[in-house]
Structure 1
Amino acid sequence: MENWTLKPLEYQQVKEIAKQFASSILGKELIEDLTPAADKEEVQYRLQETVEGFDLIRLKGDFSLGGLRDIRAILRRARVGGLLYENELLDVASTIHAGRKCKSLLRKIDEETASLSILRGLTNQIASLEQLEKKIESCIDEQGFVANQASPVLAKIRHEMERIKHQITDTLQNMIRNPRYQKMMQEPIITTRYDRYVVPIKQEYRGSFQGIIHDQSSSGATLFVEPEAVVQLNNKLKESELKEKKEIERILQELTGEVAQEVEALEQNVMALSKFDLILAKARFGKKLKAVVPDLSDDHILELKQARHPLIDPEQIVPIDVQMGTEYQAIIITGPNTGGKTVTLKTIGLLALMAQSGLPIPAAEGSKVPVYSGVFADIGDEQSIEQSLSTFSGHLTNIIRILKKLDSRSLVLFDELGAGTDPTEGAALAMAILKHVIEQDCSIVATTHYSELKLFAHNHPKAINASVEFDVQTLRPTYRLLIGVPGRSNAFAISKRLGLPESIIHLAKSELSQDESRLEEMITALTVEKRTSEVERSKVESLRAEAEKLVSELRLKLEQWEEEKSRLKEQARREAQAIVSKAEHEAEDVMKQLRQWAKQRPQELKEHQLFEAKKRLKEAVPDTELPQKVVSVSDNENVLELGDEVFVPRFNQKGTIVEKIGDNEYQVQIGMLKMKLSRNQLEKRASKTVATPTKTMTSVKRKSIDIKSELDLRGKMVEEAILDIDKYLDASILAGLKHVSLIHGKGTGALRAGVHNFLRKHRNVKSYRMGSHGEGGSGVTIVELK
């Protein structure tokens, strides 16, 4: 989009704000180069970048790329063999480090938690180059000086320089302390001039003190003399410094060569990190503005919820709701000056530009925008009656340029359409322009003062009136956008409020035409109806929210009650099972003692007495089944039918009639088994038509029908998972499942090992194996049930 379409909507000012959230110059440059895209796939990609930026900040907090440096010029110089200096090499190392931080950060985020495919793709383009970073940092310290450990030769040279410096300072200190020279000294200090050690001598002792004069004070009273005793030492020091400089240049040249070998990888790192910085800057910008990433619509529908202008203080701006593209494609906003019409116009256009640039928009969740081929705006700040022909000509020139470029996917914004000329001719021209643009299937938002355009919007099937609300009592605009209600000039109401005599107001009203009077009356009625409907809607929404809250609370309490009931039942079952187990063990012990006693005293105890004792012990064992409703059956109901519930005394088990084989033989389902039994072996408990299933039976049946063939255990501890598996396997057996899948994920393998140890000992598990490639691999265990 061309700059003349962006400037009136203050798009550049928004980018300036977004640039403040970039960590590097490179990120700021990308924001500066940002322009709205007209291709839907490109816009979708840009918005997805921003979504991933939001997700990254949500998961890991704000992440700074402050270590990223603009090393593009440095890399170009290294490519052609130029020498890189210490600070430039540190910038290279810092950029490498920033890239490794990004890679490390993304590795810490599980792909199941957040895919972040775009950010991961960028980090995959970043070369680690850890060795080069370490080499630079080992040779150059944080202050930008080549360190002694950069090379053994450099360390030796600097050791020699320190030794010479000590010799020089020792010699000069002895000279300063010597009484012979003390009177010649201006001050007892050692200083340097032109990188050579000197002492300050009084002018009058110039001929008495042997040495080389390097400088004198501004007054001429002090001479800075290099004593003859240290001339040779200073010369040696100078030679060592030259050697040091030469060795440093060699080290820098070596490091430059290593950088030159990785120029292409470093350039790719810079590009990826710059894009990474741009994405984070967009997310920080959105977080600051409390903005959201809008959805893209395929059918040119614009739906902005609680939209705000990003350049206006959020404490002062009143959010607006705008919908366009479903029933109408043109919104005509009318109303008084300073009411907020132009702000509304700019908000719609600017948010469309921001969305197509990949920037989050200051609006509520659920906002939806189409991808416009162009956003064209004719916006002026003319709010005075002193408009001239030249102003009208300027607007018309701009409108002509817009009409030449628009198409069916354009958004066109007209501010004060037709203003600046004769009202009658201006209104007629404005209607003609609107009709032409609507015929091109464009989306249009226009502001105007003309009453004729209110009637145009009311009558045209693709247009709708809108206004910005004005409070007559306070004589101030509320800035609330009212769709479907045309604006009023409010001139009579304001005049009456300010104290203009009623007689003058009545006289003015009489001057209005009948059509104009009816229009004002219509506007007044619509405004009242709009306010009433909004109040009623607000009450309904409040009641609905309260009802939803109550339903949610009741549902939660019901779920908690069901969980507590299940827990108590399970606890009771386990306790009863423990009592049964204990009683059975005691019975076995008694039988063993009885048998032993019988062997010792066979004449005193018979075998049938042993069975009677065992029967009495069995009768002492408590029943662990939950009590069920007993349905009485009359004595004359001896005929058994399919589905009847029976009791089999022989096995002390309950069963169900599933098939009648003969006159007195039936096939009975007992648990997982089917048995053929005669009538005299069965006791009828309840008929199929008479029996009333208990709540427990119904819930078990439903559970068996609804049981799934897989159980997801990911994210659970081993102990918690084993409890879930135990319950699940029991339910699967009741449902008749033969194979089930336990999903435990790959992870560290601890959960998988715990599951396998439990399955190995389970009474109902026939076998188990790892899932194949199509079944989930090592993240799934397939269990075969008995």
Structure 2
Amino acid sequence: MIPQTSLNSLEFNKLLEIIARHAHSNASEKAVLAIAPLSRKEEIEKRFSCIEDILLMSNNGTPLSVLPFKDIEPVLQKVRPEDAIPEPYELAWLMDFFQAVHEASAQIRKDASLIALNELTADLTDRKEFLGILSRSIDREGNVLDTASPELAELRAEKKRLEARVRKRLEEIVRDEETAKFLQDSFISQRSGRWVIPVRMDSKGQVPGVVHDVSRTGETAFVEPIAIIGLSNEYENIVAEEKAEVMRILRGFGAMIREAAGGIEADFRIMVSLDVLNSIAMTALQFRMFAPRINEDNVLHLVKARHPLLLHAASQKGKGNDIVPIDVRLGGDKVVMVITGPNAGGKTVAIKTIGLLFAMALSGIPIPADSSTTIPLFQNLLVDIGDKQSIEDNLSTFTAHLSNMMEFVNKADSATLVLIDEMGTGTDPEEGAALACAILKELKKKSALIFATTHLMDIKVAAHREDGMVNASMEFDSKTLMPLYRLRSGEPGQSFALETAERYGLRKDIIESARALLGRQRADLENLIKDLDQKRRSYEEAFDGLKKKTVELEKREEGLDGLLKGAEAGKKEIISNAYKEAAGIIADVKREMNILLEEFKKRDREKAKGLFKEAALLQKGVEEKIK
């Protein structure tokens, strides 16, 4: 099981808070915030399938309809005892829930291609009849309607008639001249459920009746005239009967809910699950997130991966496209990656991206990366990011990191992803680097996948020499002194501490003094890395140029092929026309020769023979020319 501390270090809870904003129920919101990585591949893929169905519905222009609903589990618990009486507003919650079930199940069952969603909601019960009874009895604000029962309708009608009679009689008393002169005002009100008129305190004995209240100033007595006491008593009796009828109706609903409580509770869990999946799908749609492939080959391969929290923050400012994606692969013969590079260059963000997307994928949440991304089905995630020093626990920065390393060495196995930030810091650099290298070797023996960031040269060298380890770096533009936030595998990076200090405005004389103090051998090594990086960049630029030229040559070749094909077709047409023309010439010559022969036959035969041979030679010459 992946520890909560690791998820908190990666701010997984903040991602869940973003997803929870799409929830339609407070119960669904709680369920989203409780999402954790799953251990079985089948569960993860099942969740992905449901989310893909919901996304398909959105892409087809018919997004899943999840109506808002309340957490009804407390209501179901409340009505379990016999004669339990639900509140009218709780019945209104049930109405909203039944309506949400009806809408969602009807929409999903219309489309048989939504296999995963149909499987999830197969046991949902559409309680139309129950919903109809509730709709006739309770309004959306939680008031019991007159139509809840014939008795209630009759009692409320009688109540209105009595109220009208009481008001009419009071209005008559207020308008009476003999009484009006003792009144503070002419309005009619209620006190303690009784109808009263405002009488001046010094005249309260002049208006026969019962005093039910006195104003704050003490100048007004609220008197129920004796003339309406009989009507008021009738009114109170009707009110009491109305309350009793309402209680009877609510008790009946309590019995109905109690009888169906098991099924309603099962429906509630399904609807919460559906709302959670819909919330995830809406977040995936918002940030163009895709379901990765879950593998059991212990290979982690992220393609165009972005940190979701950075993506969310940038999107709020309309700069979502500014987040630089990373590509990274680890697994097989390489299980340890040491990431180096400049301060504020993105090393920590890179391993947080790796860890958070790993946790998302195993939780069945699509990730902001290309769909060709693949994530290993691991059971553990060990994270050491940030300063864990504690005065209370007597832990310094170094001992806090060391405590985590001891735990990692004990717990890591072939199904563990380990993320370590700023490895080897907090103590003497040489000793810290040696200890870090030894820990990395031990973790490598456990066959875990390990990503570690550092600035220490000795760790870079060890990663270069050690089998199963690989260096990686965050790119930095030495010309502009700006980080590029691109992760490059296969080569170590520089810290660029002096360049970063210069970019942040530290005085140049201090920077030059630091350069002079930097050891010659260390400076030469840093310069070597810098030169290699520049050469690599120039090779890449040259390679890009060759690729462009290759593309251009291919286009030219295609053009020449087209021209040659056109020329060949033209050649064939010319030859064909030439043959036709030659055939015509030969035919004409033959006709002329035949005419000549006819004439010569009439003349001397010997001379005719000579002419015939001469004509034959002439015909042969013509044929040779037109071949």
1:506 shift after superposition: 8.0
Q: Which residue of 1 aligns with 2:241?
A: 243
Q: Does 1:289 align with 2:282?
A: no
Q: Which residue of 1 aligns with 2:119?
A: 121
- Deviation per CA, 1:232-272, whole angstroms, max 9, x where unpaired? 00000000000000111111111221112211110111011
Q: Does 1:155 align with 2:153?
A: yes
1:8 shift after superposition: 1.6
Q: Which residue of 2 aligns with 1:630?
A: none
Q: Which residue of 1 aligns with 2:54?
A: 53
- Aligned residue for 1:305, secondary structure, equals strand
Q: Give matches, 1:254-403, under 5 Å.
A: 254-312=252-310, 313-314=313-314, 315=319, 317-326=323-332, 328-381=334-387, 390-403=396-409
Q: Which residue of 2 aligns with 1:207?
A: 205
- Deviation per CA, 1:491-541, whole angstroms, max 9, x where unpaired? 5666899745999688556x423xx46633442243124323544565677
Task: Name whichever structure is richer in helix by fraction.
Answer: 2
CA distance in 1, matches of 2:551, 2:101: 48
- Aligned residue for 1:67, secondary structure, equals coil
Match of 2:94 among 92, 102, 119: 92
Q: Which residue of 2 aligns with 1:478?
A: 484
CA distance in 2, matches of 1:367, 1:294: 5
Match of 1:454 among 444, 455, 460: 460
Q: Does 1:23 align with 2:29?
A: no
Q: Which residue of 1 aligns with 2:594?
A: none
Q: Does 1:435 align with 2:441?
A: yes
Query: What value does the CA root-mean-square deviation take over the aligned residues?
Result: 2.9
CA distance in 1, matches of 2:120, 2:511: 72
* Closer/same/farther in 2, CA of residues 165 and 374 from structure 1, 3 Å limit: same
1:338 shift after superposition: 1.9
Q: Does 1:224 align with 2:222?
A: yes
Whether the 8 Å CA contact 1:30–1:274 is kept in 2: the answer is: yes
Whether the 8 Å CA contact 1:485–1:526 is kept in 2: the answer is: no
Whether the 8 Å CA contact 1:299–1:370 is kept in 2: the answer is: yes
* Closer/same/farther in 2, CA of residues 261 and 282 from structure 1, 3 Å limit: same
- Aligned residue for 2:396, secondary structure, equals helix
Residue type of the partner of 2:87?
Y
- Deviation per CA, 1:107-160, whole angstroms, max 9, x where unpaired? 232x3xxx3222112221111111111101101122322111111111111111
Residue type of the partner of 2:520?
L
1:50 shift after superposition: 2.5
CA distance in 2, matches of 1:71, 1:496: 61
Residue type of the partner of 2:431?
E
Identity within the alignment, %: 34
- Aligned residue for 1:464, secondary structure, equals strand
CA distance in 2, matches of 1:401, 1:214: 75
| Residues matched between the structures, number | 542
- Aligned residue for 2:60, secondary structure, equals helix
Residue type of the partner of 1:405?
K
* Closer/same/farther in 2, CA of residues 500 and 494 from structure 1, 3 Å limit: farther
* Closer/same/farther in 2, CA of residues 549 and 137 from structure 1, 3 Å limit: farther
- Aligned residue for 1:332, secondary structure, equals strand
CA distance in 2, matches of 1:364, 1:134: 48
* Closer/same/farther in 2, CA of residues 170 and 63 from structure 1, 3 Å limit: same
- Aligned residue for 1:189, secondary structure, equals coil
CA distance in 2, matches of 1:310, 1:221: 68
Name which of structure 1's ranges 370-379 and 454-463 shifts more when overlaid on structure 2.
454-463
- Deviation per CA, 1:591-645, whole angstroms, max 9, x where unpaired? xxxxxxxxxxxxxxxxxxxxxxxxxxxxxxxxxxxxxxxxxxxxxxxxxxxxxxx
CA distance in 1, matches of 2:528, 2:550: 32
Match of 1:144 among 124, 129, 142: 142
- Aligned residue for 1:167, secondary structure, equals helix
CA distance in 1, matches of 2:436, 2:323: 29
Name which of structure 1's ranges 319-328 and 223-232 shifts more when overlaid on structure 2.
319-328
- Aligned residue for 1:262, secondary structure, equals helix
- Aligned residue for 2:195, secondary structure, equals strand
- Deviation per CA, 1:548-568, whole angstroms, max 9, x where unpaired? 99999xxxxxxxxxxxxxxxx
Mark the runs of 5 or more structure 1 residues left unpaired by the alignment.
553-786
1:546 shift after superposition: 9.5
Whether the 8 Å CA contact 2:64–2:107 is kept in 1: the answer is: no
Q: Which residue of 2 aligns with 1:738?
A: none
Q: Give matches, 1:499-518, under 5 Å.
A: 499-500=508-509, 508=517, 511-513=519-521, 516=522
Residue type of the partner of 2:50?
E
Whether the 8 Å CA contact 2:54–2:64 is kept in 1: the answer is: no
Whether the 8 Å CA contact 1:373–1:410 is kept in 2: the answer is: yes
Which has the bigger relative contact order, CA under 8 A and spacing at least 6? 2
Name which of structure 1's ranges 531-540 and 305-314 shifts more when overlaid on structure 2.
531-540
Whether the 8 Å CA contact 1:203–1:223 is kept in 2: the answer is: yes
1:281 shift after superposition: 0.8
Match of 1:445 among 416, 428, 451: 451
Whether the 8 Å CA contact 2:498–2:511 is kept in 1: the answer is: no
Residue type of the partner of 2:98?
I
- Aligned residue for 2:121, secondary structure, equals helix
Mark the runs of 5 or more structure 2 residues left unpaired by the alignment.
559-627
Q: Does 1:76 align with 2:102?
A: no
TM-score by length of 1: 0.65
Whether the 8 Å CA contact 2:387–2:397 is kept in 1: the answer is: no
Q: Which residue of 2 aligns with 1:37?
A: 38
- Aligned residue for 2:304, secondary structure, equals strand
Whether the 8 Å CA contact 1:67–1:97 is kept in 2: the answer is: no
- Aligned residue for 1:311, secondary structure, equals helix
* Closer/same/farther in 2, CA of residues 219 and 152 from structure 1, 3 Å limit: same
1:364 shift after superposition: 2.6
Whether the 8 Å CA contact 1:496–1:505 is kept in 2: the answer is: no
Residue type of the partner of 1:396?
L
CA distance in 2, matches of 1:501, 1:398: 37
TM-score by length of 2: 0.80
Q: Does 1:490 align with 2:496?
A: yes
Q: Which residue of 1 aligns with 2:106?
A: 104
* Closer/same/farther in 2, CA of residues 260 and 8 from structure 1, 3 Å limit: same
* Closer/same/farther in 2, CA of residues 153 and 490 from structure 1, 3 Å limit: closer
- Deviation per CA, 1:633-675, whole angstroms, max 9, x where unpaired? xxxxxxxxxxxxxxxxxxxxxxxxxxxxxxxxxxxxxxxxxxx
CA distance in 1, matches of 2:75, 2:557: 66
- Aligned residue for 1:449, secondary structure, equals coil
1:52 shift after superposition: 2.4
* Closer/same/farther in 2, CA of residues 161 and 494 from structure 1, 3 Å limit: closer
CA distance in 2, matches of 1:500, 1:139: 84
- Deviation per CA, 1:59-99, whole angstroms, max 9, x where unpaired? 34444534322111211222222111211111112111111
- Aligned residue for 2:476, secondary structure, equals strand
* Closer/same/farther in 2, CA of residues 120 and 419 from structure 1, 3 Å limit: same
* Closer/same/farther in 2, CA of residues 506 and 37 from structure 1, 3 Å limit: closer
Q: Which residue of 2 aligns with 1:417?
A: 423
Residue type of the partner of 2:365?
L
CA distance in 1, matches of 2:409, 2:142: 60
Q: Give matches, 1:468-617, under 5 Å.
A: 468-490=474-496, 499-500=508-509, 508=517, 511-513=519-521, 516=522, 519-535=525-541
Q: Which residue of 2 aligns with 1:774?
A: none
